[in-house]
Chain A
Amino acid sequence: MAPPVTPGEQADEQRIAALQAELQTVLNWLPMDTTLEPLERLAEAAREEIGADHPVTLRIECELEDHRSQRRPISASAHCWEQLAHRAAYLPENDLLRLRIAAFIAQYRRRRGTPPDLAAGVALYEREWERRRALLGEDAQATRTIALELALAIRDRDGDGDLADAIARLESELVFRQRVYDATPFTATAAAALAQTLTIAAARHPDGGTGRVLTDRATKVAEQAVRIRRERFGGLAAATLRARLVHATAVMTAGRADEALREAEEVHAAAVATDAVIDPGWVEHVLAEAQEAAGCPTAVALATAEVCLARREARYPADSVLVAEARQLRDRLRTASG
């Protein structure tokens, strides 16, 4: 029968609804500012008014943690997500918030990026994917989100056959999203992921037709991602700049170094000017490689590579794949410059 509602309880319900509405408004606002103050203030208000363990408080803190995690060393984030999972452990196992936190745990494990982390990342995402398929259905957006993350985790593990497996998964993901979501950012995410993965595959076929076919397709798919994001978010948005980095890398791998350099320079300029939230060192890595490929003075590319290495070292563990990659680039340029 009808649950008895006391006046106090109802006031509480109303306050909870207002906090949820504020959260949604602030989420729209966040990409426009570099400070997390609005979200922090909201989390503080929620803790005070409805309690630290209320699901809505945890939900707000989950968003806050997501944004904080993009701006600090990866290894610091793993612990924070574990703590949040601990606080949410009282919720039903199938609660969407718990699923979401579990996905973040998988994400930050994978992104630590040492070889054991990469293997563990695949296992964690497989488990999350199975859970969501059973609970929400194969085609629910939340399930599809994890399907893409799983494909990227498989790609980054890079065991025997992993790269081909990842490409196949991303191809089918893109087909599905184009059909159901049309030209929206959800589709652009799959396009960018596929383009990036095709480019990695192309780089392993430096000569001959296979590489050409792969880079052609990568370039086209990356263009699609750039187009969608530019249209929705504008040319200066971090999401658009990230898609352009994928595009520049594809173009560079196709041997069009000058074009890649021009694009990398533009993205670098925009990223510096807007303090865009882009994975630290990524812009510099693409720029340094493009400078090298386009025949810029080695000293210029070396300076860029030094910045790339410093930023990645600040973000990732010393034994991660990304730091190794940046160090390799720096060392190669250093040798070349004598």
Chain B
Amino acid sequence: MGPGTTWGIAVTSLETELQSSLITEWVSTAKSTKYREFVAAVLSWALHYDTSDDEPPRELLTGNATWDHHYWPAFAPFTAGAVEAQAAGRNPLPTATLHSFAKESEKPVRFLLAWKPDLARLYPAYKAAADLLICDVKAHSYWPWRRGWLEALRRHDPGDRRFAAESLITVVGEWAATHPYLAALRDMAPPLPALYDLAVICGLLTHDVSGDTVTFRRDADPTTASTLVSVATRLVVAPPRVSPMDALHTVHRPLMTVAFAAPSTRTELIAATRRSLARVDQLVHLASSDDAVAGRESLSLVLTALTGALRTV
């Protein structure tokens, strides 16, 4: 049986699949303690600038292509703004240290990409050391969000992979709204774990249980999927700054087409039918109780209504 056929089992295995994926391994083990401390330090700078009044977001959030010129100081050593940042006394670490760490950042990501070349298709933005560092910081920042998302998936078992894809978009959107500067860097490049998860959910890539082979489905289109996440992020971060839910609405149709090649309202239809069946269940109890006549009448009404309603969909 394919995913989404046996509801409870399918979603449990999806959550488990995501928990045990290659990306989990990468983020949680593939780096030295020292390097992870460094990324955490950069992240704390990012958080500071996301919430401080030093640079008003509106100045940045113009929706044009000049994001990268507005680096916050922690990233400055990797850009032309290094000298200015140091002159302004805003550089927390010596440039040389940052460069050596950047080399270390390169290692795990390059290693990952060399090991699983197909993964590079998820994230075409790797060019310079700064790209790798930004990628790492985004991943590190997104990690607790992913944990909350997986926890909610585990708990609520909605029974459809589409739901996992939809909620992933709103979670990334809320992450971006919380960290607009960080999210905007590198043309809204999404956190790599989110892209990897989306690819797993949509069945764009397959890996065997040991994780030793990761390959994209032949007809998979991971670039489009990753662009959709970027588009949603931009809608949340830049004007008109929509809610994460509205960002999802905007990319919903292409997301469903890219990811599932199927009608977009299946999740909702399933949900509505399940809701109706829950009512039927209540009414069956009522129909076999003392107030049997009223219960049966209601039951008959709901069943007729459900049949009629399904026909009109």
Contact = CB atoms under 8 A, between A and B. Distances in A.
Interface of A: 1-3, 5, 10, 13-15, 17-29, 31-34, 38, 136-137, 139-142, 144, 180-182, 184-186, 230-237, 266, 268-270, 272-275
Q: 9 closest Cβ contacts across the A-B interface?
A: A21-B148, A18-B148, A32-B271, A234-B265, A25-B152, A235-B313, A236-B272, A234-B268, A270-B309
B279 A24 contact: no
B62 to A, nearest CB: 12
Q: Which of A21, A34, A184 gathers most chain B CB within 10 Å?
A: A21
Nearest to B240: A141
Contacts of A137: 239
B47 A34 contact: no
B45 interface: yes
B275 A13 contact: no
Nearest to A184: B249
B293 to A, nearest CB: 18
B158 interface: yes
B156 A29 contact: yes
Nearest to A182: B250
B207 interface: no
Interface of B: 40-41, 44-45, 47-48, 90, 92, 143-149, 151-153, 155-156, 158, 163, 166-167, 170-171, 173-175, 178, 239-246, 248-250, 252-253, 264-269, 271-276, 278-279, 301-302, 304-306, 308-310, 312-313
Contacts of B273: 236
Contact of B145 (A21, A31, A140, A233): A21
A28 B166 contact: yes
Contacts, number: 186
A22 B246 contact: no
Contact of B275 (A14, A34, A141): A34
Q: Describe B's contact surface by its main secondary structure.
A: helix
A223 to B, nearest CB: 15
A13 B144 CA distance: 9
Nearest to B178: A20
A3 B41 CA distance: 10
Contact of A232 (B144, B249, B308): B249
A29 B246 contact: no
Given A17-B148, A32-B158, A185-B246, A273 B276 contact: yes
B144 A25 contact: no
A146 B266 CA distance: 32
11 contacts: A1-B92, A14-B144, A15-B144, A18-B147, A22-B151, A31-B271, A236-B269, A236-B273, A237-B268, A266-B309, A273-B276
Q: Which of A10, A27, A139 gathers most chain B CB within 10 Å?
A: A27
A83 B276 CA distance: 35
A186 B242 contact: yes
B265 A232 contact: yes
B240 A32 contact: no
B141 to A, nearest CB: 8
A146 to B, nearest CB: 13
